[in-house]
Structure 1
Amino acid sequence: MNLNFSIIVPVYNRPKEIDELLESLTQQDFFNDFEVLIIEDGSTEKSEQIVAKYNNKLNLKYFFKENSGAGASRNFGMQKATGNYFIILDSDVLVPKSYLTAVKKALETNFTDAFGGPDAAHESFTDLQKAINYSMTSVVTTGGIRGKKKSVGKFQPRSFNLGLSKKAFQNTQGFSKMKNGEDIDLTFRLWENGFETQLIEKAFVYHKRRSTINQFFNQTFGFGTARPILNKKYPETAKITYWFPSIFIIGLDIGIIAAFFGYPQLFYLYCFYLCILFLDSLFQNKSVKVAFLSIVTSLTQFYGYGSGFLKSKFFKRFR
């Protein structure tokens, strides 16, 4: 198959991020033509002037539309694209120079109508961003489901770094109206329609993610609320592992209360786990500060996802 890539990037009030992303795309060691579509989703801080800086360096198309959310903006971009294979990127990523080459090589070797790639922390990231990246990608925290290893079962691509053939988009109509979990919803519909997905480990991006603890909590809370909805919509995909963050935070709360009354055994077990997490982050990031922050961000992730999951699973039923 002759691959013609169209890169789709929705953006909302983040012109600086678009500047950094487009600059990284100019550095690609890729010899084939590709187009980049920037979809401005009703921003008040527009990226149009930033995009204009790169008109002579990239095959760029800029569109401004009313605010409708990232999923609808991605669909809009794919409708306007001229390529036959779409690559969806978040505005807060940087793309290594070998990215497109890695994607092309992997698809030529083993073509699938959709793929996902991992994310990594760039050396320019803040210590907090590196800690957040660790929490989201580590085997110790997430079991490697975001691309750290191949033994993760059937891979579910995430929208910050996702590829989709034009055929698959036309068949599924792209992203749904879900605010959270729309990428997983798309994956399940791809599988229902007979399309395969794969993890391309070498097609990684540097993903900045949220820059404050509060933003990170809100993001993971949203992820947690989406999962019970997806489980209900696609019951055959439900797994016991999706309960683990909720079980973790309930167990930790019980452990703290029990320790207060003189029964510290469970709390000590959690402390042991956090020590393992600290050492693993220290080994990976070579920074004591990032390792300490990894404990904070991992607990934030567990409490965000776990509480969001429980609220969506139980409390919304009683409204």
Structure 2
Amino acid sequence: MFFSIIIPLYNRPQEIDELLKTLTHQTYTQFEVLVIEDGSTNDAKAIVQKYEQLLDVKYFFKPNEGQGFARNYGFERAKGDYFVIFDSDCLIPEDYLEIVKNYLFEHHLDAYGGPDAAHQSFTPVQKAISYAMTSPFTTGGIRGNKKHIGQFHPRSFNMGVSREVYEKVGGFILTRLGEDIEYSIRIHENGFKIGLIPAAKVFHKRRTSFSQFYKQLHFFGRARINIYKHFPSELKLVHFFPAAFTCFVLFSVFMNILWPALAYICDFILLVYFVMIFFHSWQVNKSVKVAFFSIIASFIQLTAYGLGFMQDFFKRVVFKQQ
């Protein structure tokens, strides 16, 4: 099996340097790498060229259109039997392709996704953000977990599709705002089999600061409504949880001003919730500092997603704006 690894890139030369370095250590070596520079003003051509003697790597520069169409650009030029998509802010374990290859030979999948985790080199903030995105107290632990809601939708930071899928379904039709979920739904609808490879994890940096994390999750909340506009049945009750949490927090703030007696109840519920997050993160990460930051990251994860979700829900669903 020959893999084509496709990495869209936009103004992140340091990230691609770190990612390519991890790919030089892969135990399974039947792969090529296509780096698609999507109109960056700070390009990584010189960095990618450093790896030409170590990897079968190709560098392409194209006008900026967004990550979905950058991946399509790579699909069109890929030689592999399987196309593997990574985000540029990922580090890849050395046995990743070995795990995927062995799993695909034993369990036929036309497309797959894998989980993400925090690397030991991550900062406490990055580890807290990773926790918030995978915790049973925030996302329900369903990201990268077999116990997902409804159909499994691979996420584009760690996703693979067979050449057969690409030839029949084509590439991404959205460049952002839930483009990976939309793509996997079309793969399902064309009769292909998609599954999770639990051991095929990547170390996903996500964002390095809470402000960047807020912007990303606000965007994710809006993306869920974008998916709903294309596929109404994909909006589940669980997707409303961050918005409900956000409304509860706002209600608690107003109660502290208008009705302090009731506010005590709300505040106690929030306190218990955050204490559970603290101790669970402490158990998982073995760090009090990361556990404290996990409270902040979880709060941001829920409220940013909730606000983005509500913004586009009222704008595009209630008021029917484009």
Same fold (TM over 0.5): yes
Letter in 1 for 2:231: Y
How big is the alpha-carbon RMSD for the aligned residues of Structure 1 and Structure 2? 1.3
Deviates more, 1:210-219 or 1:238-247: 210-219
Equivalent of residue 253 in structure 1, options 250, 253, 274: 250
Q: Cα offset for 1:65?
A: 0.7
Q: For 2:242, what is the secondary structure of its paired residue?
A: helix
- Matched positions, count: 315
Q: For 1:314, what is the secondary structure of its paired residue?
A: helix
Q: Cα offset for 1:113?
A: 1.0
Deviates more, 1:69-78 or 1:222-231: 222-231
Instruction: Judge conservation of contact 2:154–2:180 (CA < 8 Å) in 1.
Output: yes
Query: 1:178 & 1:267 partners in 2: Cα distance?
Result: 41
1:15 maps to 13
Q: Cα offset for 1:66?
A: 0.8
1:238 maps to 235
Q: Cα offset for 1:295?
A: 0.8
Query: 1:270 & 1:173 partners in 2: Cα distance?
Result: 46
1:29 maps to 27
1:184 maps to 181
Q: Cα offset for 1:71?
A: 0.4
1:6 maps to 4
Letter in 2 for 1:24: T
Structure 1 runs, 4 residues or longer, greater than 3 Å off: none
So what's the TM-score if we normalise by structure 1? 0.96
Query: 1:146 & 1:302 partners in 2: Cα distance?
Result: 15
1:215 maps to 212
**CA displacement, residues 157-180 of structure 1 (integer Å, 9 cap, x when unaligned):** 000000011111122221122421
Letter in 1 for 2:297: T
1:115-264 paired onto structure 2 within 5 Å: 115-147=112-144, 149-153=145-149, 154-260=151-257, 261-262=259-260, 263=262, 264=264
Letter in 2 for 1:156: H
2:99 maps to 102
Letter in 2 for 1:80: R
2:66 maps to 69
Instruction: Judge conservation of contact 2:83–2:162 (CA < 8 Å) in 1.
Output: yes
Query: 1:178 & 1:98 partners in 2: Cα distance?
Result: 30
Q: Which runs of 5+ in 2 are unaligned?
A: none
Instruction: Judge conservation of contact 2:65–2:175 (CA < 8 Å) in 1.
Output: no
1:276 maps to 276
Instruction: Judge conservation of contact 1:37–1:62 (CA < 8 Å) in 2.
Output: yes
Q: For 1:248, what is the secondary structure of its paired residue?
A: helix
Q: For 1:39, what is the secondary structure of its paired residue?
A: strand
Q: For 2:141, what is the secondary structure of its paired residue?
A: coil
Q: Cα offset for 1:86?
A: 0.2
Please tell me whether residue 85 in structure 1 is matched to residue 69 in structure 2. Answer: no
Instruction: Judge conservation of contact 1:222–1:308 (CA < 8 Å) in 2.
Output: yes
Letter in 2 for 1:231: Y
Letter in 2 for 1:137: T
Q: For 2:137, what is the secondary structure of its paired residue?
A: helix
**CA displacement, residues 263-285 of structure 1 (integer Å, 9 cap, x when unaligned):** 11122111101110111111111
Instruction: Judge conservation of contact 2:115–2:200 (CA < 8 Å) in 1.
Output: yes
2:267 maps to 267
Letter in 1 for 2:6: I
Letter in 2 for 1:292: F
**CA displacement, residues 115-150 of structure 1 (integer Å, 9 cap, x when unaligned):** 001111111111111111000111221012211x31
Q: For 2:195, what is the secondary structure of its paired residue?
A: strand
So what's the TM-score if we normalise by structure 2? 0.95
Instruction: Judge conservation of contact 2:69–2:175 (CA < 8 Å) in 1.
Output: no
User: Percent same amino acid at aligned positions?
Assistant: 47
Q: Which runs of 5+ in 1 are unaligned?
A: none
